[in-house]
Amino acid sequence: MANLSLTAMLNRCFRYSFSKAGLRSSTMDLGDGTVMHIWVPKVHIKSKPTLILIHGIGANAMWQWNDFVSPLMSRFNVYVPDLLFFGDSYTSRPERSEQFQAQCVMRVMEAHGVTVMNVVGISYGGFVGYSLAAQFKERVEKLVLCCAGVCLEDKDMEEGMLQVKSVDEAVSILLPQTPQKMRELMKISFYKPRKGVPTCFLNDFIRNGYDVPNSSISLVVGKRFHQLGPWLNINNVIDLTSGNVFGTSSREKRVDPSITQGPKAVESSKDNPGYCKECSLSYKGFCSSIYWVNNTCFVQPTLLIWGEHDQIFPLELGHRLERHLGDNAKLVMIKNAGHAINVEKPKVLLKHFKYFLIDTFRPMDPGNYSNGCKTD
């Protein structure tokens, strides 16, 4: 008899929740060795604006946006993609940059007939959202970036801004392979980490329900090999020394010519959390983004939302990004929250999403703001 997996049960609950909210699961074959899974409205209502929710590092998109889909569906056509190497999304192409992720997201949206959209991205999803706004200025109307340290610089780790002192340490925590490392990740992700989480559940979340080969895979980080557990279905050795989040050796700023190819849509029926199949997060990769960020800017109105006690991408990075974007950006600080603000403060986030995305012409209440930061 197979062991009961709470992770798999929760994943099925999330699928039911998304479906009940009015979304359906769809998988897009982009025709170039790239397949992307996305949740799309069962009925796209033309009178509503379109909103894309882009997840961060972790489990698939359902785990990160479950509390948001139903409340937002009443005002938006909501689309929720699984980024490449999460859930059922993958590619055989060598590109691993957030620019390529953004291009694939845009191709999926084009396949569904959507050309203009609003974008919300959290953490790594914010990197992808930033790239979307920079590459497709005429298609992204408004942008919300939550705890996305796209202005991180190489010196920040050396000067002690971050909780980790090396790429190796970052990988061991941000890609946890043991309950101990999972607890360390929870400690730096939450303002008030949940205590007493059973080890059996942490083991289940790490190892079960991902339909992956039961073998270890080598990961190259900083010219050293790391053995990854079976929950990471990494099919190739990834070299993070190349300097991008997902190990690509290219810093292309142009749009991939294949963006115009016509994808084919097929329905997805898999029940797979897909924690992270070929992703290998490193602060070294994030540091390289400053090269691209400093050479790109856009005119879209942008809301930056940060947890007051974010230990992964500290609040200073939010101030830095606000300065970089200038008058187009507004920084909001959420009190008593860490990096995982979508889990700790979902109602507060929803309030800011709706206020910024819906009340386009209503001026912000100056009484609630101080030095560009709002406190809740």
In this prediction, residues 7-16 reach a mean pLDDT of: 92
Is 203 contained in some domain? no
pLDDT-derived band at 152 (thresholds 50, 70, 90) equals confident
Count of domains for the chain: 1
Structure tokens at 188: 């730096």
- CA–CA gap between residue 280 and residue 293 (Å, rounded): 21
Taking only the tens place, the pLDDT of each residue in 339-354 is 999 999 999 999 999 9
CATH of the domain at 311: 3.40.50.1820
Is 202 contained in some domain? no
- Asked if residues 334 and 341 have their Cβ atoms less than 8 Å apart, the reply is yes
Is 272 contained in some domain? yes
Report the range of poorest mean pLDDT among 66-70, 293-297, 339-343: 293-297
In this prediction, residues 89-96 reach a mean pLDDT of: 87
At residue 84, does pLDDT exceed 60?
A: yes
Helix ranges restricted to H, the chain: 6-21, 61-73, 98-111, 124-135, 154-158, 167-174, 179-189, 199-207, 283-293, 315-325, 341-344, 346-358
Taking only the tens place, the pLDDT of each residue in 13-53 is 999 999 999 999 999 999 889 999 999 999 999 999 999 99
Strand-pair category, 90-91 with 34-41: antiparallel
Taking only the tens place, the pLDDT of each residue in 179-199 is 898 898 899 999 999 888 899
Is 1 contained in some domain? no
Domain containing 154: what range?
6-160+243-277+285-374
Other beta carbons less than 10 A from residue 77's beta carbon: 22
How many CA atoms lie within 13 Å of 7's alpha carbon, on the beta-carbon side? Answer: 21
Other beta carbons less than 10 A from residue 22's beta carbon: 18
pLDDT at 159: 79
Strand-pair category, 23-29 with 34-41: antiparallel
pLDDT at 157: 76
CA distances from 222 to 81, 171, 289 (A): 30, 11, 17
Dihedral of alpha carbons 259, 263, 268, 270, sign: negative
CA distances from 213 to 114, 231, 234, 315 (A): 37, 8, 9, 39
